[in-house]
Amino acid sequence: MARVYATPEQLAAWTGQPAPTDAGRLLARASQDIDEALLTAVYCTDAAGMPTHSEVTQALSDAVCAQIEYWQETGDTGTGAAGRWTSVSLGPVSLSGPRGGPIYPGAVDLADRAHRALNRAGLLPGVIGECPHCHGGY
């Protein structure tokens, strides 16, 4: 079962707007993006793979909500398609240059605020060692 790190209520509190009707789908997709960004991160989890420390739980929730907020601002629906082009037309097909964002196909276009939430919690990959939230244990 896929892990989902935030609730519709947390999303509404983050954005200051009611959660959209498809909040469950958006939360699941954003959680997948966060999982991808944290592919080699070290933090303590329970048997279901959910974080066990409140700081990590909060950081993942914040990152998921920030990712959805970013999608809403860029007009994305969680597919990543909206952020790929500066201009798109459908008839007779016209595309303009790519926007910033993922450098290679399959890369996560991680929202700046999501990146900062994960960075503040010490969750971004790159450092191998003890789990900072478990005080040396796993």
What's the pLDDT score for residue 110?
85
Q: What is the dihedral of CA 70, 75, 78, 82, to 10 degrees?
A: -110
What's the pLDDT score for residue 109?
82
Q: How far apart are CA 14 and CA 64, in angstroms?
A: 10
What's the pLDDT score for residue 65?
97
The answer to whether residues 59 and 118 touch, using CB atoms and an 8 Å cutoff, is yes
Q: How far apart are CA 7 and CA 98, in angstroms?
A: 32
Contacts of 37 (CB under 8 A, 6+ apart): 63, 108, 110, 114, 115, 118, 124
What's the pLDDT score for residue 119?
87
Residue 44: exposure state from Cβ atoms within 10 A (0-12, 13-18, ≥19) = middle
What's the pLDDT score for residue 138?
46
Which among 52, 2, 54 is positioned nearest to 24, based on CA atoms?
2
Q: What is the mean pLDDT of each run of 10 residues along the chain (138 residues)?
A: 92 95 95 89 88 94 95 73 56 60 60 89 67 56
